[in-house]
Structure 1
Amino acid sequence: NAVLPFVNASADPENEYFSDGITDELIIALGKVEGLHVASRTSVFAFKGLREDVRTLGSRLNVSVVLEGTVRRSGHRLRITVQLTKVTDGRTLWSERYDREVTDVFAIQDEIARTIVATLRSTLLRDLGDAAPVRYTSNIRAYQLYLKGRYWWNGRTQSDIARSIEYFEQAIAEDAGYTLAYTGLADSYALQVDYRGAPVTGGMERAKMMARKALELDETLAEAHTSLAWVTFIYDWEWSAAEREFCRAIDLNPRYSVARQWYAWLLIAMGRTDAALSQGRTALELDPASVSIRRSMGWLHYYARQPEAALEQLRRAVTMNPTAEENHRLLGLAYLQIGMYDEAGAAFRESIANSESTALATAGLGQAAALSGKTAEARGILEELYAVSRERYISPVAFVMLHASLGDGDAAFEWLERAYDDRRGWLAYLRVEPMLDGLRGDPRFSRLLHRMRLA
């Protein structure tokens, strides 16, 4: 079964968040029905806006039934039309139109989910479980603010994440017991640190606080356990506690791809390569259209010293999203691994062209120069980074990588200490990062591994 992105038929394009949100809610509700496989959000939203026959889209998503719909909102009035179609012959199994108040949106969603399950039971799948609605708020204003937060969070740019934080905070102000808004905030704070290369402590402490608040409200929420697991792994460096949280999340929702994706990062950091790749592949099976998970597979292969496999995944990620700067930066690192320095340089330049925070890609450009023997060029890039760092914060990771590539051991260790003091999440991968191989014979490296409890 696939829920295609509902079309915003309102006069105001600003209502896009609402039609997307209803799509998300139905995917989540139907995904909890035992015996029903539902295509992931990322997979279906990859087809948003395409004017293709439902049978063609259903075939590409590898599903037997497709739900499509429109949402028209005017003031407090709401019109939702839905149609359930069998992919093989294009036959309509069920259709309906709802003309209600906006405040009835919860009841409409529940009714749609129940009717779909009943229809599928009577036509295709007899052994389906029930569509049991789970509501985390009854406050319609808080719900709409939450939908806006998720809408912007899914954009995954720095400015989008900043907007998502504003909306999640407003949702909580409307309903202090809204569990999902707290998990949204936790994920936003953590992503903001990742995407901006910003100072860690403030964002990660807030992320941890929000995840714990969500779990106080509902201990059975897989998303909240996943959020807490990520912060515990990448910021607290409490490996066993993080693994317990990831495993709890997967037990609660085995189909939650993000839990498996992030758990794979923990496993690769611990040197458990086979288990990491297995979790990564499962995440990809659950959400094959996710650029983030495809890129994660590239990272896993990079850390596993499998650069050819990394390149295969990353080229596909670039095809899926040619403007994602992280795709190009990681492609550059994989090229460095196999000595393709010109290609690495081109990838880093592409990353810089698409990035709001260019320090790591600029350091990569310096690495490519250093490793190809262009030492003067590499040192020029290093000086540029130092000049910028006098004006604003730059992650110590950029300096570690470039000094290590230049063979400046003492400077690299000095910046490693700063990364440790700043609690940069990148240090979690200390034992597997290929670009640090030149430092591994130094006793200072062994001591740092012991302090990180990674020895």
Structure 2
Amino acid sequence: KPEDLRTVSQQLGVAHVLEGTVQRDSDKVRVIVQLIDARADSHLWAKTYDREMKDVFAVESEVAQEIADSLQAKLSPAEANTLATAPTKDPEAYDLFLKGEYEARLARSNLRPESFDQATAWYQQAIARDSNFALAIAQLAQNRILRHWFAEFLSEADLADVRKTIDRALAIAPDLAEAHIALGMFYYHVHRQYDPALVEFSRAVQLRPNNSQALEYLGYVHRRQGKWAQSLDELQKALIHDPRNASLEANMAGSYLHLRMWKDASASARHAISVDPHETIGMRTLLLSILNSRGDVEEALRTMGTFPSDSKLTTNSLFGSVAGITGERAYALVIARKFDDALKVWESPAANDTDERREISARVAIRVLAGDATSAHTEAQKAVKILEDRSRERPNEILTLTELSWIYLALNRKADALSSSRKAAQLLPPQQDALVGDYNLTGLAEIEVQTGETADAVSILHQLLSIPAGDSVSVARLKIDPVWDPIRNDPAFQKLLGEKELIGPGE
């Protein structure tokens, strides 16, 4: 129970706070609620509801209407309709659904497959009790999509099943905003089809104008389209509706990082971590805001020491560069030239096939950068068949192409390394995806540097300094990153270090 409601109201950006308790006894429930003016610490309204569990959803509608009356506000027809329609008539199904929601929020923070899987299990149990529970069906689809995006790629058969799940939710409830968000996420995360995704997210906003998730995803689409100012505005609006959403705040920080707005990136990342200390994207962004803004390796390592030690700061959604393979925790140690410590980050057993491929690729890349060609060659020999088999199965999977480029490099197959890296850069350039296209170009420049293609690498770096790419390339980062050591004394590279880098949207 919060003791300082004034502080709570300031954090949430609201004048009034609803405080409540729920007491359950068998099939009976007592709900005690009070509406408080946090500025004056005065009670505006309070009431106790005694109901049977089967009638608990009616309480929500009654409370909302009585609060609106107390504030002399009027619910819109859409809002009134939403409150009047219970998501399910089965209280036990709803309880299971809420457990799924809790676990799903944890998963969106720690990005671990086991958390996504636990959320899926709760949603499935809820749906088993009520096969028409459209909200649970939509959230199940969303959760599986995010697992695919952040943790472990789903098979084509699994993705087809996810699409069927979305269609099922829409068939049951065509005007359910969460179902349209799920379809938009399918276009966005699975196929990178941003125009149809935009249609679905816009439809969700029409249905629920205050739905922060729909507003959030509008911002995500527009930043991938390079509309950075519009994206920041939409993400800020989403935060107004959901100010304690650490994942959203961390993504806002990530936008600032791309735009080389270092102080804003650091402030937003720190706030996200203060809300949720396990927020992976927030930790990653804070670390990079220190390294890429001023190249302060010691401060970066001190900051990283405050993070949970079991997080490698990796995500499947960010790939293309060597740091995307190793994860930012290991790569911060590479930048500090603590190569043995970087290798230790990858000593824990792999959780799945994706982790196994990433682990061996990360270890090879770290050894290459450490100058340990013999060990890198030995490990690469063990990995090459696994990754080539994966590449034959999924020839356009950029993470695998990037991993292969470093395996080939360790095997002295320079032409193959360049070919894999160039294909990755061609598959998803910045013009097609302004958020992650720079990673692929950075990855190509990294391989070119290692293979003696200096002029092309410098040209790419010059381009990256002129666009929003602050998460992977900045003047400060170029000065300290070992990956650029082979051209450290090249006059063209030295000239880059004196160039101005783009700061802000630059639209």
User: TM-score higher than 0.5 here?
Assistant: yes
CA gap 1:146/1:339 in 2 versus in 1, 3 angstroms? same
Q: Which moved more, 1:349-358 or 1:97-106?
A: 349-358
CA apart distance, 1:322: 2.9
Kindly provide the CA deviation profile for residues 222-250 of structure 1, in whole angstroms up to 9, marking residues without a partner as x.
22212211220121122221121122222
Measured in 2, the distance between the counterparts of 1:403 and 1:150 equals 39
Query: Does the CA-based 8 Å contact 1:345-1:365 persist in structure 2?
Result: no
Secondary structure in 2 matching 1:163 = helix
CA apart distance, 1:287: 2.1
* Matched ranges for 1:275-354 at <5 A: 275-338=230-293, 340=295, 342=297, 343-344=299-300, 353-354=309-310
CA gap 1:379/1:355 in 2 versus in 1, 3 angstroms? closer
| Corresponding residue number in structure 1 for 2:88 | 137
CA apart distance, 1:298: 1.7
Query: Does the CA-based 8 Å contact 1:261-1:296 persist in structure 2?
Result: no
The one-letter amino acid of 2:282's match is N
| Corresponding residue number in structure 2 for 1:9 | none
| Corresponding residue number in structure 1 for 2:438 | 433
RMSD of the TM alignment (CA)? 4.1
The one-letter amino acid of 1:116's match is I
Query: Does the CA-based 8 Å contact 1:363-1:398 persist in structure 2?
Result: no
Measured in 1, the distance between the counterparts of 2:304 and 2:379 equals 15
Kindly provide the CA deviation profile for residues 393-430 of structure 1, in whole angstroms up to 9, marking residues without a partner as x.
999638738968x9978536526758999x9xxx9557
Query: Does the CA-based 8 Å contact 1:79-1:98 persist in structure 2?
Result: yes
Measured in 2, the distance between the counterparts of 1:388 and 1:322 equals 34
CA apart distance, 1:207: 3.5
| Corresponding residue number in structure 2 for 1:93 | 44
Unaligned runs of 5+ residues in structure 1 are 1-48, 446-455
The one-letter amino acid of 1:379's match is I
Query: Does the CA-based 8 Å contact 1:401-1:412 persist in structure 2?
Result: no
Match of 2:420 among 408, 414, 437: 414
CA apart distance, 1:179: 0.9
Measured in 2, the distance between the counterparts of 1:59 and 1:375 equals 45
Query: Does the CA-based 8 Å contact 1:80-1:99 persist in structure 2?
Result: yes
Query: Does the CA-based 8 Å contact 2:116-2:143 persist in structure 1?
Result: yes
Query: Does the CA-based 8 Å contact 2:401-2:420 persist in structure 1?
Result: no
| Corresponding residue number in structure 2 for 1:397 | 399
Measured in 1, the distance between the counterparts of 2:169 and 2:46 equals 37
CA apart distance, 1:189: 0.5
Greater radius of gyration (CA): 2
Match of 2:169 among 214, 217, 242: 214
Measured in 1, the distance between the counterparts of 2:36 and 2:334 equals 58
The one-letter amino acid of 1:63's match is V
Query: Does the CA-based 8 Å contact 1:190-1:207 persist in structure 2?
Result: yes
The one-letter amino acid of 1:324's match is E
Measured in 2, the distance between the counterparts of 1:388 and 1:288 equals 44
The one-letter amino acid of 1:71's match is V
Measured in 2, the distance between the counterparts of 1:178 and 1:206 equals 17
| Corresponding residue number in structure 1 for 2:328 | 364
The one-letter amino acid of 2:15's match is S
Secondary structure in 1 matching 2:174 = coil
Secondary structure in 2 matching 1:282 = helix
The one-letter amino acid of 1:380's match is R
Match of 2:139 among 178, 184, 205: 184
| Corresponding residue number in structure 1 for 2:123 | 168
CA gap 1:94/1:188 in 2 versus in 1, 3 angstroms? same
CA gap 1:76/1:370 in 2 versus in 1, 3 angstroms? closer
In the comparison of the two structures, how many residue pairs are matched?
385
Match of 2:54 among 86, 95, 103: 103
Secondary structure in 2 matching 1:268 = helix
Match of 1:380 among 367, 372, 377: 367
1:253 pairs with 2:208: yes
Kindly provide the CA deviation profile for residues 321-359 of structure 1, in whole angstroms up to 9, marking residues without a partner as x.
333233222333444544626255666676672427858
CA apart distance, 1:194: 3.6
| Corresponding residue number in structure 2 for 1:33 | none
| Corresponding residue number in structure 1 for 2:450 | none
Query: Does the CA-based 8 Å contact 2:277-2:307 persist in structure 1?
Result: no
Query: Does the CA-based 8 Å contact 1:81-1:98 persist in structure 2?
Result: yes
| Corresponding residue number in structure 2 for 1:66 | 17
Secondary structure in 1 matching 2:41 = coil
Match of 2:101 among 146, 150, 163: 150
1:355 pairs with 2:311: yes
* TM-score (norm: length of structure 2): 0.64
The one-letter amino acid of 1:160's match is S
Measured in 1, the distance between the counterparts of 2:198 and 2:71 equals 38
Query: Does the CA-based 8 Å contact 1:304-1:432 persist in structure 2?
Result: no
Query: Does the CA-based 8 Å contact 1:225-1:245 persist in structure 2?
Result: yes
Secondary structure in 1 matching 2:87 = coil
Query: Does the CA-based 8 Å contact 1:265-1:300 persist in structure 2?
Result: no
CA gap 1:197/1:302 in 2 versus in 1, 3 angstroms? farther
CA apart distance, 1:100: 2.5
Secondary structure in 1 matching 2:217 = helix
Secondary structure in 1 matching 2:71 = helix
Measured in 1, the distance between the counterparts of 2:175 and 2:379 equals 45
Measured in 1, the distance between the counterparts of 2:144 and 2:189 equals 13
CA gap 1:87/1:289 in 2 versus in 1, 3 angstroms? same
Measured in 1, the distance between the counterparts of 2:127 and 2:14 equals 37
Measured in 1, the distance between the counterparts of 2:379 and 2:129 equals 44
Once the two structures are aligned, what percentage of the paired residues are identical?
Answer: 27
Q: Which moved more, 1:80-89 or 1:162-171?
A: 80-89
Match of 1:229 among 172, 184, 187: 184
CA apart distance, 1:297: 1.0
